[in-house]
Structure 1
Amino acid sequence: MTTTIPTLPMHIGGEDSVGSAGRFIEAENPATGEVIAQFPAGNADDVDAAVAAARDAFPGWSRIDPMQRARILNQLADIIVENADELAHLDVTDNGSPIREMRNDAFVGAAQLRYYAGLILQLRGHTVPTGQGRLNYSLRQPWGVVARIIPFNHPFMFAASKIAAPLAAGNTVVIKPSEFTSLSALRLGELAKEVLPDGVFNVVTGYGHEAGDALVAHPDIRRLAFIGSAATGRAILRRAAEVSVKHVTLELGGKNPLVVYPDSDIDIALDAATRGMNFTWQGQSCGSTSRLIVHKDIYAEFVDRLGAKLDDLTSGSPASEDTDTGAIVSQAQMDKVLSYIDVGRDEGARLVAGGSCVSADGLDAGRFVRPTLFADVDPASRLAQEEIFGPVLAAMPFEDYDDAIRIANMVEYGLTASIFTRDLDLAHRFAHDVEAGYVWVNDVSRHTPGTAFGGFKNSGLGREEDIEELESYTQSKNVHVNFGGQRRSE
């Protein structure tokens, strides 16, 4: 008996679309290998249609009362909360991360919509003293059509939260989710029809080299934001510049250090090393603290105890509330993770925990890799330098502060960093010297609402999650008025 899988449409201008070419991408459950749905492989024609719809909707959306815009965004947040369980389960089956993480992602997406709805009246200009009979003031005005290209690791959270600032600022949006995880973004597009005017929010699915490239190159898109790898970010910058001058922001990769001093609370630092690596979503996070840099005096004990903690993590069905770590999103990503485990062995690092796929307990049909810890890693090795985006943690010792900061800064990335110590003088010195955009002291992974998130070096351009992101979705205009009939003084 043949099972018919559902076909989920794109959302363009308030209408459902199966795409101009009639081609589809299959959505596969990474925990079972089962095909669960299909959706359109959109192309340049579909992008043109979405941009045209967004362009037509822009005048009306940008001109409505700002507080009405805020009310609509809050209504969308309410709808997300009402449907949080459904949205979480879509991500579980599409992405492979555990249900409790994906449920939290739905609430984070709603919270970001509320946050930016509350900031709308902060989009203010200013006046400059000019003398009698004249007035000089500035305005903040939206760009128009904004494109957002989001990754696979937090499908719904990024779909909801990354449209919040551009919509709040009065822009219309075309979003392209990852071809590996498009289901929850498509559902969001369907739910948003209840409150957003047609064309204000459009969802185009497809491959990066087709739909993604068409968005980046589209002449009517002047504002673009991307979350993903550093290599793709650089390619987007090049491609965008070929067509028109665009404002581009990028949140890119990370190979983030977590530094542990002997005076820290070791139990707390051990928990942080586990949480900071984001094993609960298989290490698939640009903010993961994937380089563990531990003082030589406690290094051996710390690594042994951490290895035991990782061995205790439960790999299992992402739909289970008891699962600690789920499935890798795609076969290509799993192959990449396994190849880096081979790299670690070849480079002579010592395998402490994990390092293998999971084939027991009925998980053999899925893409499960055990949380992996390598010790005695050379800071200059590939394992310590290259972003894996998987559940592989590299541990290495350090001698003193200068050695720790040297190791922390010797990669091309600079997204996050963390230090554990009771010496606040040392902690603040580290926070100043480390080349990273977001630094934790005696903590990891926590994103405080209203604080700017973004990277140094090859980890990106621009900041998100605070008012700076909202302002980046506007252009500043200066207005000079001579209203008194005064002649300019010579």
Structure 2
Amino acid sequence: MTVVQGSPAQEGAALRANEARVAQLLARDWRLLVGDGLVPARSGRTFTVQSPYTEQPIAEVPDAGEEDVEAAVAAASAAARDWRRTPVLERARYAEALADAIDERADDFALLDAIDAGSPITEMRADAARASAGLRVFAGLALELKGNTIPASENLHLTVREPFGVVARIVPFNHPFMFAAGKIAAALVAGNTVVLKPPELAPLSALLFGEVAKEVLPPGVLSIVVGDGPEAPRALVRHKAVRRIGFIGSVGTGTAIQRDAAGTGVKEVTLELGGKNALLAFPDADPLEVARSAVAGMNFTWAGQSCGSTSRLLVHESVADEVVNEVVRLLGELTITSPLDPVSEMGTVISRPHHERILKVIEDARAEGAELLTGGGRPAHLDRGYFIEPTVLAVEPSARVAQEEVFGPVLSVLRWKDEGEAVALANSLDYGLTAAVWTNDIRRAHRVADELEAGFVWVNGSSRHFPGVPYGGVKNSGIGREEGVDELLSYTTVKSINVMR
């Protein structure tokens, strides 16, 4: 079993200061951003937000429904014409101003994510920095919104890029603020107005963001609505005025969005969905480096709740023992404590049902024959919070835990004998988001990367994203690409103009 130690700074000044600031931030009336106003739900309904760390209620937030979505889309539609006609470099300046405003409140956004989503404060501070950086990246790409001239005849033929109008952006709980603020950037710079639906399990940083954005953006350019359940997002997806939808989340919800969107019109939908991603370790790679990459790639920091996590470690039998022993050792050194403590290195999972489901997955895997190498339960030194020890299971390829996304801190280890077997294992599932290849043979690296059915591949690395490098999946892991110029252009349509002589 993994040995995890509590933080010696548990009662330290930084932790106390963070707890005090969180208490101040939570002492507010939470509101939706609709048009130019911060408003309650039209029905007057609220729902309770619970911290996965304290297991206690921390906020009552508006429970938006169809009426609120209708109002938000109406405000976005009213603002769309003027926003579209705003010169692109001016829209870029708005994005940069929003990034500046985020930087001024970055610690508040991070603290809310730590208490609301249970992720370590240090990592949530990095998420806030990534959000503002994303806005600046797309501001810098603004002039890529250009058309072409085509010498098709003696006439003048040209193309221009135009925004869709109103865009729906629906984001998940694993990086609440980074996704809420960062994933509106491309749509806004491209000239669309946006209705953002943050996660009901961790909505607080997005609602605070609404207060900040209201002071920066013109009215109606951004609205933020959240509700407890499917009513609000379903109304948003099905609204006839919403012609472009961007979603990050589960495969099941993504396919439901496709069905709902198709029920009310022809809409452009991009999806970044789940993964059961493979890290392939070849015998010529350094086992210690492979182990470090396996731990980083599993994203244990936020309890493995990442669709890009390399949750299958496919390791050659000749180095498997050394790699796995080092993985177990590294996991035993993780500090698991309050997410508000700067020394915390691993957070909670998002909710009690998710916690119970993951523990049941581990139990079922062991009943199927998986060997528990470390972890498997709640950390012994913590009696509250939805924590699960970092868990490593040695499994057969047929095991459910080796085939289905857990979305938790569970790493499956599979051994292989030859390259063909490793690639076949990696490609054997209906997922195809990320993959990693560890080898010192450059020919093998290119060959295997070419054969892998994944949208984003690391060679001798894992986990990291890079500005401007397209990110997205194939097969059931999604459609479309984000984080670069592809994302920016995806929020536009192409119009051809033919000027006849």
Q: TM-score with structure 2 length normalisation?
A: 0.94
Alignment length (residue pairs): 477
Quote the residue 2:437 is aligned against.
419
Quote the residue 1:306 is aligned against.
327
Write the letter of the residue equivalent to 2:402: A
Quote the residue 1:285 is aligned against.
306
Quote the residue 2:10 is aligned against.
none
Quote the residue 1:452 is aligned against.
470
Distance 1:281 1:433 in 2: 30
Aligned ranges 1:122-161 → 2 under 5 Å: 122-132=144-154, 134-161=155-182
**Deviation string for 1:171-227 (max 9, x for gaps)?**
000000111010011111110112100000000011341101111111110000110
Distance 1:225 1:346 in 2: 39
State which of 391, 399, 411 in structure 2 corresponds to 1:393. Answer: 411
Distance 2:54 2:494 in 1: 50
Q: Given that residues 308 and 353 in structure 1 are in contact (C-alpha distance below 8 angstroms), is that contact kept between their aligned partners in structure 2?
A: no
State which of 244, 247, 252 in structure 2 corresponds to 1:226. Answer: 247
Distance 1:454 1:233 in 2: 14
Distance 1:430 1:206 in 2: 44
Aligned ranges 1:191-202 → 2 under 5 Å: 191-202=212-223
The alpha-carbon deviation at position 343 of structure 1 amounts to 1.8
Quote the residue 1:370 is aligned against.
389
Write the letter of the residue equivalent to 1:372: T
Quote the residue 2:18 is aligned against.
none
Counterpart check, 1:275 vs 2:275? no
Distance 1:304 1:198 in 2: 56
Distance 2:153 2:447 in 1: 47
Counterpart check, 1:318 vs 2:339? yes
Quote the residue 1:30 is aligned against.
52
Aligned partner of residue 107 in structure 2, secondary structure: helix
Write the letter of the residue equivalent to 1:115: V
Distance 1:153 1:131 in 2: 52
Counterpart check, 1:104 vs 2:123? no
State which of 459, 462, 486 in structure 2 corresponds to 1:441. Answer: 459
The alpha-carbon deviation at position 5 of structure 1 amounts to 6.0
Aligned ranges 1:78-93 → 2 under 5 Å: 78-93=100-115
Structure 1 residues 433 and 208, CA gap change in structure 2 (3 angstroms)? farther
Distance 2:265 2:175 in 1: 30
Quote the residue 2:235 is aligned against.
214
Q: Given that residues 112 and 161 in structure 1 are in contact (C-alpha distance below 8 angstroms), is that contact kept between their aligned partners in structure 2?
A: yes
Q: Given that residues 287 and 319 in structure 2 are in contact (C-alpha distance below 8 angstroms), is that contact kept between their aligned partners in structure 1?
A: no
Quote the residue 1:487 is aligned against.
none
Distance 1:33 1:160 in 2: 26
The alpha-carbon deviation at position 336 of structure 1 amounts to 1.6
Aligned partner of residue 80 in structure 1, secondary structure: helix
The alpha-carbon deviation at position 388 of structure 1 amounts to 0.5
**Deviation string for 1:132-183 (max 9, x for gaps)?**
4x21111100000000100000000001110000000000000001110100
Counterpart check, 1:50 vs 2:68? no
Q: TM-score with structure 1 length normalisation?
A: 0.96
Distance 2:295 2:163 in 1: 41
The alpha-carbon deviation at position 7 of structure 1 amounts to 3.1
Distance 1:260 1:136 in 2: 52
Moved over 4 A (4+): none
Aligned partner of residue 127 in structure 1, secondary structure: coil
Distance 1:344 1:298 in 2: 24
The alpha-carbon deviation at position 320 of structure 1 amounts to 1.0
The alpha-carbon deviation at position 358 of structure 1 amounts to 2.5
The alpha-carbon deviation at position 372 of structure 1 amounts to 0.3
Distance 1:356 1:22 in 2: 40
Q: Given that residues 326 and 368 in structure 1 are in contact (C-alpha distance below 8 angstroms), is that contact kept between their aligned partners in structure 2?
A: yes
The alpha-carbon deviation at position 73 of structure 1 amounts to 0.6
Write the letter of the residue equivalent to 1:480: N
Write the letter of the residue equivalent to 1:385: Q
Distance 2:485 2:450 in 1: 23
Quote the residue 1:164 is aligned against.
185
The alpha-carbon deviation at position 425 of structure 1 amounts to 0.6
Counterpart check, 1:18 vs 2:37? no
Quote the residue 2:8 is aligned against.
none
Counterpart check, 1:468 vs 2:490? no
Quote the residue 1:346 is aligned against.
367
Q: Given that residues 291 and 324 in structure 2 are in contact (C-alpha distance below 8 angstroms), is that contact kept between their aligned partners in structure 1?
A: no
Aligned partner of residue 243 in structure 1, secondary structure: coil
Aligned partner of residue 151 in structure 1, secondary structure: coil
Write the letter of the residue equivalent to 1:189: G
**Deviation string for 1:64-122 (max 9, x for gaps)?**
11111111110110111111111100100100000111000000000110000111111
Distance 2:363 2:417 in 1: 28
Distance 1:125 1:306 in 2: 50
| Unpaired segments ≥5 residues, structure 1 | 485-490
Distance 1:7 1:41 in 2: 13
Aligned partner of residue 67 in structure 1, secondary structure: helix
The alpha-carbon deviation at position 243 of structure 1 amounts to 0.8
Write the letter of the residue equivalent to 1:384: A
Distance 1:237 1:117 in 2: 29
Aligned partner of residue 178 in structure 1, secondary structure: coil
Quote the residue 2:138 is aligned against.
116
Aligned partner of residue 301 in structure 1, secondary structure: helix
Q: Given that residues 5 and 36 in structure 1 are in contact (C-alpha distance below 8 angstroms), is that contact kept between their aligned partners in structure 2?
A: no
Distance 2:439 2:113 in 1: 37
Quote the residue 2:397 is aligned against.
379
Counterpart check, 1:95 vs 2:117? yes
Counterpart check, 1:403 vs 2:425? no
Aligned partner of residue 141 in structure 2, secondary structure: helix
Distance 2:456 2:398 in 1: 23
Distance 2:62 2:109 in 1: 20
Distance 2:239 2:152 in 1: 40
Write the letter of the residue equivalent to 2:40: V
Quote the residue 1:251 is aligned against.
272
The alpha-carbon deviation at position 305 of structure 1 amounts to 2.2
Aligned identity (percent) is 50
**Deviation string for 1:304-323 (max 9, x for gaps)?**
22112212212110011111
The alpha-carbon deviation at position 359 of structure 1 amounts to 4.6
